[in-house]
Amino acid sequence: MFRKTRLYTPGPTPLLPAAQFAMAAADIHHRTAEFRALYTKVLGQLKEFVGTKNDVLLLACSGTGAMEASVSNLTSPGDRVLVLSAGKFGERWVALAKAFGCQVDLLTAPYGETFDLEQVKAALKPDTKAVYVQATETSTATRHDVQAIAETLKAANSEALLIVDAITGLGTTHFDVDAWGVDVLIGGSQKAVMVPPGLAYLSVSDRAWAAMETSKNPRYYFDLRKERKSAKLGESAYTPSVALIAGLGAALDYIAGQAGGNLAEGRIALIENAQNCAAMTRAGLVALGFTLFAPTAPAAAATAVSVPEGLDSGAVVKELKARFGAVIANGQGEMKGKIFRIAHLGFFDYMDTIALLGALELIARDTLKLPVQFGQGVAAAQEVFAQKK
């Protein structure tokens, strides 16, 4: 039987064909009027995609590079910061803050859960310089309520900057960056915008720009002030990833095209598509007898699923790839072997979701020995889809 490889991983995600074509044709020198026009257009599109009037910058790096920039540019050695951590990427915030000499106050939640807002409020100190959090903790497929966290900071009269890793949150979750007061919001190219890894983008508020003027941490390549200055001229501070930027422009055009050319409306359609696919997947998996790992705060970017006691989630990952060419993600760190993760962000649709659930019915029956009747997972997903229409 022929097998067609399909990515169901939360990054990299399936590539948009239009973006692939644009990347293949991107034979442009980066210090030309042609590239400056492309770069200026893409930066403007990104502001619409993020949904902000703040500056949005592009960096040739993974999302972690933008995370690092949001520490090095906004803090000084000895500054007190609060990290909200409930997974591997929250732990990355801790490591980054410590690497730049920050005094880290840490509020944790168990893997698969989110934060108690009263505890967030209590963890804030008068001298807290910044709060770092994920919008979606990809390692556990858990969504954190960014709006509620922002409102908690305001209610506490905190002057702390709010920095949000929305690398898998953008395109799967609704944000109102300016109204909520998010100072930095970070995205990545290999997620909902459907192009390969290698670009990070971030919105930066006026408060964050002001904080950079007093920050004493070292930065060179990741000096956001340099990028802002160059962006005003239609250029990047250093050699950009020309092909990826061309692909990103094509992807943003495609998203806008899903709503008659309106990128803001296209973003909403992209988010709703991810949320629908996630809801279908959760319903199908529960119908098959699986246990959701983050049932009280599920993300739309991905769904995390526990396997029955005594079984290894790696077996599900391996069998899906071997039998059907479907690539999903195992757990990370201490969750490896305990959960598997299925993505919904970007270039996924109803047909992808139904196909994967059909394959999982066979894996559940043959590999995990669950008492599965063919069609029960698919039917549950179809019921969810029908109710959404």
Q: How confident is the model at residue 1 (pLDDT cuts 50, 70, 90)?
A: confident
Among 50-59, 144-153, 164-173, 380-389, the range scoring the smallest mean pLDDT is 380-389
pLDDT at 174: 97
State both tokens at 272. Answer: 């709703």
Segment 51-76 mean pLDDT: 98
Segment 299-315 mean pLDDT: 93
Q: Does 389 have pLDDT greater than 70?
A: no
Q: For the segment 312-336, what is each residue's pLDDT rounded down to a tens digit?
A: 999 999 999 999 999 999 999 889 9
Tally Cβ neighbours within 10 Å of residue 95: 12
pLDDT at 335: 92
Q: How confident is the model at residue 219 (pLDDT cuts 50, 70, 90)?
A: very high
Rounded Cα gap, residues 42 and 24, in angstroms: 17
More confident residue, 147 or 2: 147
Helix-helix angle 350-366:313-324, to 10 degrees:
120
Q: Where in the chain is the domain with CATH 3.40.640.10?
A: 17-257
Q: For the segment 243-280, what is each residue's pLDDT rounded down to a tens digit?
A: 999 999 999 999 999 999 999 999 999 999 999 999 99
Considering the segment(s) 6-13+263-388 as one domain, its CATH architecture is Alpha-Beta Complex (3.90)
Place of tokens 């990355």: 92
pLDDT at 384: 97
Q: Where in the chain is the domain with CATH 3.90.1150.10?
A: 6-13+263-388
Strand duo 161-165 + 184-188: pairing? parallel
Q: How confident is the model at residue 292 (pLDDT cuts 50, 70, 90)?
A: very high
pLDDT at 235: 97
Indicate if the alpha-carbon torsion angle 228, 231, 235, 240 is positive or negative: positive
CATH of domain 17-257: 3.40.640.10
Mean pLDDT over each residue of the chain, to the nearest integer: 97
pLDDT at 113: 97
Give pTM, 2 decimals. 0.97
pLDDT at 294: 94
State both tokens at 178. Answer: 């300016």
47 within 8 A of 40, measured Cβ to Cβ: no
Segment 174-200 mean pLDDT: 98
Tally Cβ neighbours within 10 Å of residue 193: 28
Segment 164-185 mean pLDDT: 98
pLDDT at 388: 83
Rounded Cα gap, residues 336 and 253, in angstroms: 37
